Copies of this chain bind each other. A is one copy, B any other.
């Protein structure tokens, strides 16, 4: 049986203008090669509805799976979800489970869950959400199209949860913890913890919000109780 095929669509004005150098294509190309999936084409287009629809339509006719990067999340005009829905001919609406995830996230961080942020819960009808352990706003899979964020840390985390679903591998589970310390304080205890859990992977995604340093630490593995145990140990290391 021939390998399954894939295509990648990178969405974003900042890529075409040269302001940002894309790294997601190369990351995913390597991950697909390791998974035995043949990447047959890549396209990069601007944040324009007509261009996204044309590219998705062309690519999903060619490849078994289409992976998109960019054009979702609060920093974008969030036209991508609508364009994907239009390309697949399905309605799009505010989705309650995605809205609840985002509402809880913004309540925890004391940030207003305004209308622009609520738009991140607009998901084409019938889609399956893709978990975003880094910054919560989910991606989604619909038909053979997997729609993911452009920020590399988020994109990479989403690839880690989508790929096993496609290849039939054991699904990867994850839990995340927000730690309000600089990465310099987190690194050594996290490395010691990782040594105690060689069956899990640990990712640290630093941020700086209003001058305060912190990181989202994501624990991933295929064994749910082990992931929960490591996350609890991590929370004990950084109380408060």
Contacts and interface: CB of A to CB of B under 8 A. Distances in A.
Contacts of A153: none
A126 B29 CA distance: 37
Chain A contact-residue range equals: 20 to 34
A39 B17 contact: yes
A18 B45 contact: no
A16 interface: yes
**Copies of the polypeptide in the assembly:** 2
Given A16-B39, A17-B39, A41-B46, 14 more contacts: A16-B29, A16-B42, A17-B29, A18-B29, A22-B25, A22-B26, A25-B44, A41-B44, A41-B51, A41-B55, A42-B42, A42-B43, A42-B45, A43-B43
Contacts of A25: 22, 44
Interface of A: 10, 15-18, 21-22, 25-26, 29-33, 39-46, 51, 55, 58
A18 B41 contact: no
